[in-house]
Amino acid sequence: PWCTKLLAVLRNPIQRAYSHYCMVTSIEGTEEQKIHRGLDWRDKSLEEVIHEEVVLMMEVGLIPYWDNDSQTVDNDVFREFAGSTEETEAWIRYQDTIPMNKGSHSLLGRGLYELNLRPWINACQPTPTTTTAADTTSTTTTTTPQMLVLKMENFKTNDGVQQTMSQVYHYLELPEYRVLDTTPKNTRNYEHFEPLSEDTREMLQRFYAPHNARLRGLLGDDWIDPWPLPVSSQ
């Protein structure tokens, strides 16, 4: 009963990781915000933080398919490991390492969306609803999903904001409402941060590609290739 309707918004995991690093290492904000972000990454480059997390994931057995020397995925190993009991157990071990009192953790792990969402979706299976027509004895059973998963990139345009919010209203069984102010909120200026290098971007593309592909099996065909690579990267 506690998981009647859930909403999740996913962002390109590469951009999510970069934004996460910039937020945590930013010197802007209140003292309370800085404390909650943590100091662990303040004197480290993005590449150093990525390397440390990859090593941690390897130590707990979460990414046996990843070759850290070539920075590539062994797809055969990945297919065998994905969805296995061994992966679930390794994911739990990884989560056990997460400090709960600061934001400087799980730079890559937060972007393994299928692994993050699967327990929630399994716990909140769709609820069958049976209705009976007033003038007949026939009944109709429908299934209502209990989690709506959206892409953050769909909020980038005025039309996208309205279309996405219309999905939300329909899902929550609320009346349609016209969003009057569609300007971006809670944005960050990245001018003062070192830009994401092409080498790091390409490494993260290889790391996340098989995980992004798993979303189709969990969420359906709307999630085929959710974040296509630029033509120059393919």
Return the amino acid letter for 224. I
Quick count: other Cβ atoms within 10 Å of Cβ 96? 8
User: Distance between CA 143 and CA 129 in Å, rounded?
Assistant: 6
With a CB cutoff of 8 Å and minimum separation 6, the contacts of 87 are 62, 81, 115
Quick count: other Cβ atoms within 10 Å of Cβ 24? 21
With beta carbons less than 8 A apart as the criterion, state whether 8 and 102 touch: no
Q: What tokens appear for 208 in the block?
A: 């996340």
More confident residue, 147 or 80: 80
Return the amino acid letter for 101. N
pLDDT at 141 over 50: no
- Tens digits of residue pLDDT in 104-134: 999 999 999 999 999 988 888 765 655 555 5
Mean pLDDT, residues 185-203 taken together: 89
How much is the pLDDT for 142?
46
Mean pLDDT, residues 213-230 taken together: 92
Query: Residue 59 half-sphere exposure, CB side, CA atoms within 13 Å?
Result: 10
Burial class (CB in 10 A: 0-12, 13-18, 19+), 91: buried
How much is the pLDDT for 124?
81
pLDDT at 82 over 70: yes
Q: What residue ranges in the chain does DSSP mark as E strands? A: 6-10, 66-67, 72-73, 127-132, 139-144, 147-151
Mean pLDDT (the chain, rounded): 89
User: Distance between CA 126 and CA 121 in Å, rounded?
Assistant: 9
Is 0.85 topped by the overall pTM? yes
With beta carbons less than 8 A apart as the criterion, state whether 23 and 37 touch: yes
Lowest mean pLDDT among 9-23, 146-160, 190-204, 217-231: 217-231
Q: Is the dihedral of CA 219, 222, 224, 229 positive or negative?
A: negative
